[in-house]
């Protein structure tokens, strides 16, 4: 489905093909435990085994052999008992026992290879499914993660994929064995005494129905137990992660009481499951024995009348047990198959989920005029721009209204100013829910090399502007131009490659500090990284870490402080040599002394680059070329710091409130 993005008044019309939106694509959260068997899903599931087709075919062959071998062993045992043993033919008994042992040895040997192939095929399927789920998630825009709970995404990758593994690795091939065993046993019974076989055939559906009914009930109790346990583990994880808040607000006893209640609920579910199982399992076994009793009575009557011999009667009962025992197994496997169907539907829905919007088919990469970027890297500049002292700040940075402080490194700016992006908002309206806009009629222009500061209360729309500039979301209406090109006609990855972002809570991946910095430019060397860190005056702070640049950090940046984490992200942004710099409360977690050192580094990072800065500290925004004051998604004031203070409006009020509180012009 293609829809055109509405244009702002006076804006040129754009063809529908500029933006492809899949409004009917939704990540539906269907948590049904059972789904009916669907051959289309089954075929697709087994399509993942085509890369191991040889092993799959061998597995099918070994499974069929296994299905015939077990009844064959039972039949041979009955023949030995009713034949040579009954006639005291010991030489024949010994010969047949050797044959029995050889068949048993072959049976177990084949079982070994069957299990091995089943495990290998299961792992192959799981790896491919998880890889495809991961790729599908990576394709989704930010709006997908905005409305989708992380737990649901993780469950598709873990429990649902594991259920699919069970469906292929266990349910299918185990069911083949059981069905094959029943079929072989049925043929033997039919050959031995077809009248008694008709009785068995009449009793089998009754036993199957009882098993199905009881197994479904057990599965529901089992699901309730699993869900209660997931609540226990989630609460435990939340309590550990929030232990600072728990102790700070003296909630230890309250939280402990809630946790004990969850444990009590989980225990009760387990008790209900155990009680139900303790009742239903003997009932199923009793039914099986009752059926055998019926057959014994009928078999005895036919033996007394001479309709069947003792040897055939023994064979029949041995094989009848082989016929009835798989019924319980198949009933359980059938439940597992229905669970696998439900999981498959959820997993494939995510894999097939089309992004709500994609780059236009004719979208092109954003041209990158940063000449000599790779060459500069090779020469050790470290961050892909000209070194200090090569140029002077742009005129916008040294105007009478808004003069920047002189720095020894301000010469970087002019030579790289041409590399800055031009950003223009034309009557842009945007909402995460299109019916509830959070930005209304936003219009402003950031010329190459300019710094735009966004000021406003929480929820005023600052982060939403950043999300649009980064092409994490698209405008609901209006136009957003990057270097005079509509953002719809620019590929997202080419824009991201030319953007450096430092936020308030920067995420670091597990690995070393060096690994995280090199994400900006994987081809850079450690010397490049050290040069980038030195250029923003934080190399000594990174070297002071326990392992220096080789310090290991946990997921999210665990192991180092939030301030150190932000220094890593500043260095990463510098190493990238971006044309557009986005700072979202980037210095909020840094102490005053470190921030003072970084102010000079910020000038170096921002000079010559277009930058959008979100901050509450006036020290960060007082030197901006343009300050935009937002309120409820609208721009209510714009100008330089000095102009807005002189105007006596909302910005001046904010500045004055802080001054009365005893602060300086450096913070707000």
pLDDT tops 90 at residue 299: no
Whether 443 and 334 share a structural domain: no
Q: Of the candidates 317, 333, 352, which is a domain's last residue?
A: 352
- Sign of the torsion formed by the C-alpha atoms of 144, 146, 148 and 150: positive
Coil, strand or helix at 604: helix
What is the rounded average pLDDT of the residues 483-498?
A: 90
Task: Decide which of 34 and 624 is more confident.
Answer: 624
pLDDT score recorded for residue 636: 94
Listed range (46-55, 262-271, 282-291, 512-521) with the worst mean pLDDT: 282-291
What is the rounded CA–CA span in Å between residue 259 and residue 256? Answer: 5
Query: Which CATH number is 100's domain given?
Result: 1.20.1560.10
Query: Does 3 reside within a domain?
Result: no
Does residue 397 fall inside a structural domain? no
Mean pLDDT (the chain) is 77
366 found inside a domain: no
Q: Give the pLDDT score at 587.
A: 66
Alpha helices in 140-193, H assignment, sequence order: 142-147, 150-155, 161-165, 173-192
- Which bin fits 191, alpha (ψ -120 to 50), beta or left (φ > 0)? alpha
pLDDT tens string 566-576: 888 888 988 88
**Stretch among 177-181, 216-220, 342-346 having the lowest mean pLDDT:** 216-220
Query: For the residues of 96-143, what is the DSSP string, one character each?
Result: HHHHHHHHHHHHHHHHHHHHHHHHHHHHHHHHHHHHHHHHHHHHS-HH
Tell me, rounded to whole angstroms, the distance of Cα 367 from its chain centroid: 32
Residue 8 pLDDT: 38
Specify the residue for token string 């970027």: 373
Residue 634: its pLDDT value, please?
94
| Same domain, residue pair 327 and 452 | no
Label residue 617 by pLDDT band (50, 70, 90).
Answer: low
Q: State whether 346 and 460 are in the same domain.
A: no
Residues sharing a CB contact under 8 Å with residue 165, sequence separation 6 or more, in sequence order: 122, 125, 126
Per-residue model confidence (pLDDT) at position 33: 55
Share of residues in the chain with pLDDT > 70 (%):
80
DSSP-H helix ranges across 396-550: 412-417, 462-469, 492-497, 513-518, 526-535, 539-543
Inform me whether the pLDDT recorded for 447 exceeds 60.
Answer: yes
Q: Are 586 and 419 in contact (CB under 8 A)?
A: no
- pLDDT tier, 381 (very low <50, low <70, confident <90, very high otherwise): very low
- Residue 375 forms part of a structural domain: no
List the beta bridge partners of residue 425: 444, 480
Q: State the average pLDDT over residues 479-499.
A: 90
Instruction: Tell me which H or E stretch contains 582.
Output: strand 580-584
Residue 288 pLDDT exceeds 50: yes
Judge whether residue 319 has pLDDT over 60: yes
User: What pLDDT sits at residue 658?
Assistant: 60
Q: Which residue has the higher pLDDT, 79 or 587?
A: 79
Q: Per-residue pLDDT tens for 388-412?
A: 333 333 333 333 344 444 433 433 3
Cα 602 to the center of its chain, rounded Å: 35
> Is 323 a member of any domain?
yes
| Separation of alpha carbons 627 and 616, rounded Å | 12
Does 204 lie in the same domain as 60? Answer: yes
Q: What is the mean pLDDT of residues 12-17?
A: 37
For residue 204, being part of any structural domain is answered with yes
Least confident of 307-311, 374-378, 439-443: 374-378
Q: Report CA-CA distances (Å) from 138 to 1, 144, 468.
A: 21, 10, 19
| Alpha helix (H) residue ranges in 305-370 | 310-352
Tell me whether strands 580-584 and 552-553 are parallel, antiparallel or unpaired: unpaired
Q: Is the pLDDT of residue 90 over 80?
A: yes
Over range 480-497, report the average pLDDT.
Answer: 90
Rounded CA gap, 384 and 412, in Å? Answer: 12
In a shared domain, residues 427 and 348: no
Mean pLDDT of the region 499-514: 84
Name which residue leads in pLDDT, 335 or 1: 335
Same domain, 431 and 348: no
Q: Are 334 and 356 in contact (CB under 8 A)?
A: no
Q: Is residue 100 part of a domain?
A: yes
552, β-bridge pairs: 512
Total-model pTM? 0.67
Compute the average pLDDT of residues 11-35.
44
Structure confidence at residue 415 (pLDDT)? 37
- Tell whether the torsion through CA atoms of 203, 208, 213 and 218 is positive or negative: positive
Which of 100-114, 274-288, 570-584 is the most confident on average?
570-584
Condensed to tens digits (0 to 9), the pLDDT of residues 156-202 reads: 888 788 888 888 777 777 777 788 888 888 888 888 888 888 888 88
pLDDT digits (tens, 9 = 90+) for 623-658: 789 999 999 999 999 999 889 999 988 888 877 776
- Rounded CA-CA distance 18/487 in Å is 10
Going by pLDDT thresholds of 50, 70 and 90, the confidence category of residue 290 is confident
Place of tokens 């030319």: 498
Q: Band the pLDDT of 154: cuts 50, 70, 90.
A: confident
d(Cα 649, Cα 631) in Å, to the nearest integer? 13
| 167: nearest Cα among 42, 346, 312 | 42
More confidently predicted of 73 and 628? 628
Question: What integer pLDDT is reported at residue 619 of this predicted model?
Answer: 66
The whole-number pLDDT of residue 620 equals: 66
Side-chain-side CA neighbours of residue 116 (13 Å): 9
- Same domain, yes or no, for 658 and 520? yes
Helices (H), 452-491: 462-469
Structure tokens at 311: 């040897």
Residues 455 and 582 reside in one and the same domain: yes
* Structure confidence at residue 388 (pLDDT): 31
Whether residue 493 sits in one domain with residue 347 = no
Distance, CA of 554 to chain centre: 18
Q: The tokens of 493 are what?
A: 């990855």
Judge whether 580 lies within some domain: yes
Mean pLDDT, rounded, for 413-435: 77
Rounded distance, CA 500 to CA 519, Å?
Answer: 11
Q: How far is CA 200 from CA 230, 321, 342, in A?
A: 44, 11, 33
Whether residue 87 has pLDDT greater than 90: no
- CA-nearest of 114, 136, 118, 116 to 126 is 118
Lowest mean pLDDT among 53-57, 223-227, 413-417, 504-508: 413-417
Residue 448: CATH number of its domain: 3.40.50.300
- Given 292, 318, 352, the domain boundary residue is 352
What integer pLDDT is reported at residue 626 of this predicted model?
Answer: 93
Name which residue leads in pLDDT, 546 or 317: 546
Q: Where does a domain end: 302, 322, 352?
A: 352
Least confident of 65-69, 251-255, 490-494: 65-69
* Residue 243 structural domain: 39-352
Confidence of residue 507 (pLDDT cuts 50, 70, 90): confident
**pLDDT for residue 529:** 92
| H helix or E strand, kind and range, residue 204 | helix 194-241
Q: Considering its fold, how many domains does the chain have in total? A: 2
């Amino acid at each position: 489905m293609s829809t055109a993005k509405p244009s702002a008044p006076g804006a040129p019309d754009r063809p529908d093909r500029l933006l492809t939106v899949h409004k009917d694509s939704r990540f539906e959260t269907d948590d049904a435990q059972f789904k009916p068997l669907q051959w289309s899903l089954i075929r697709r599931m087994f399509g993942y085994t085509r890369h191991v087709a040889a092993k799959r075919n061998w597995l099918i062959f070994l499974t069929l052999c296994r299905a015939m071998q077990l009844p064959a062993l039972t039949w041979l045992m009955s023949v030995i008992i009713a034949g040579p043993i009954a006639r005291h033919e010991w030489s024949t008994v010994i010969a047949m026992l050797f044959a029995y042992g050889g068949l048993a040895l072959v049976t177990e040997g084949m079982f070994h290879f069957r299990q091995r192939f089943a495990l290998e095929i299961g792992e192959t399927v799981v790896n491919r499914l998880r890889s495809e789920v991961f790729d599908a998630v990576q394709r989704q825009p930010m709006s997908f993660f905005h409305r989708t709970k992380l737990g649901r995404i993780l469950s598709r990758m873990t429990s649902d994929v594991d259920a699919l593994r069970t469906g292929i690795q266990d349910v299918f091939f185990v069911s083949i064995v059981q069905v094959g065993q029943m079929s072989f046993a049925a043929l033997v019974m039919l050959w031995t005494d077809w009248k008694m076989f008709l009785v068995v055939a009449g009793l089998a559906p009754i036993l199957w129905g009882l098993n199905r009914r009881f197994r479904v009930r057990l599965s529901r109790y089992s699901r309730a137990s699993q869900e209660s346990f997931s609540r226990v583990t989630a609460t435990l994880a939340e309590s550990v992660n929030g232990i600072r808040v728990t102790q700070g607000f003296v909630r230890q006893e309250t939280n402990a009481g809630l946790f004990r209640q969850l444990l009590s609920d989980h225990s009760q579910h387990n008790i209900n499951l155990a009680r139900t199982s303790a009742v239903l399992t003997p009932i199923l076994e009793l039914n099986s024995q009752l059926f055998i009793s019926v057959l014994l009575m009928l078999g005895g009557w036919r033996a007394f009348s001479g309709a069947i011999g003792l040897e055939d009667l023994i064979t029949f009962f041995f094989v009848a047990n082989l016929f009835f025992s798989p019924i319980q197994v198949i009933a359980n496997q059938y439940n597992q198959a229905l669970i696998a169907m439900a999981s498959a539907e959820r997993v494939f829905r995510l894999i097939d989920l089309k992004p709500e919007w994609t780059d236009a088919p004719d979208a092109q990469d954003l041209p990158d005029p940063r000449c000599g970027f790779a060459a500069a890297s090779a020469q050790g500049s470290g961050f892909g721009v000209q070194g200090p002292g090569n140029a002077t700040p742009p005129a916008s940075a040294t105007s009478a209204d808004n003069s920047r402080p002189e720095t020894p490194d301000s010469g970087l700016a002019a030579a790289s100013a041409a590399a800055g992006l031009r950003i223009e908002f034309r009557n842009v309206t945007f909402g995460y829910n299109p019916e509830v806009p959070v930005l209304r009629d936003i219009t402003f222009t950031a010329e190459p090399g300019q710094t735009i500061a966004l000021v406003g209360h929480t929820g005023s729309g600052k982060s939403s502007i950043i999300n649009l500039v980064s092409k994490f979301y698209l405008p609901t209406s209006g136009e957003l131009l990057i270097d005079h090109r509509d953002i719809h006609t620019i590929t997202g990855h080419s824009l991201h490659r030319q953007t450096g972002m430092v936020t308030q809570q920067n995420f670091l991946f597990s690995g070393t500090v060096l690994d995280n910095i090199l994400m900006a430019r994987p081809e850079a060397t450690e010397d490049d990284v050290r040069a980038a860190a030195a250029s923003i005056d934080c190399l000594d702070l990174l070297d002071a870490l326990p392992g220096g640049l080789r310090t290991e950090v946990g997921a999210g940046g665990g192991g180092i402080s939030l301030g150190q984490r932000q220094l890593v992200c500043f260095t990463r942004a510098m190493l990238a040599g971006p044309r557009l710099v986005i700072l979202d409360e980037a210095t909020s977690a840094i102490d005053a002394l470190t921030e003072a050192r970084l102010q000079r580094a910020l000038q170096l990072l921002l000079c010559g680059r277009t930058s959008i800065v979100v901050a509450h500290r006036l020290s960060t925004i007082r030197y901006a070329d343009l300050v935009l004051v937002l309120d409820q998604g609208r721009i209510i004031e714009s100008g330089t710091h000095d102009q807005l203070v002189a105007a006596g409006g909302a910005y001046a009020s904010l500045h004055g409130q802080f001054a009365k509180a005893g602060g300086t012009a450096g913070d707000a």
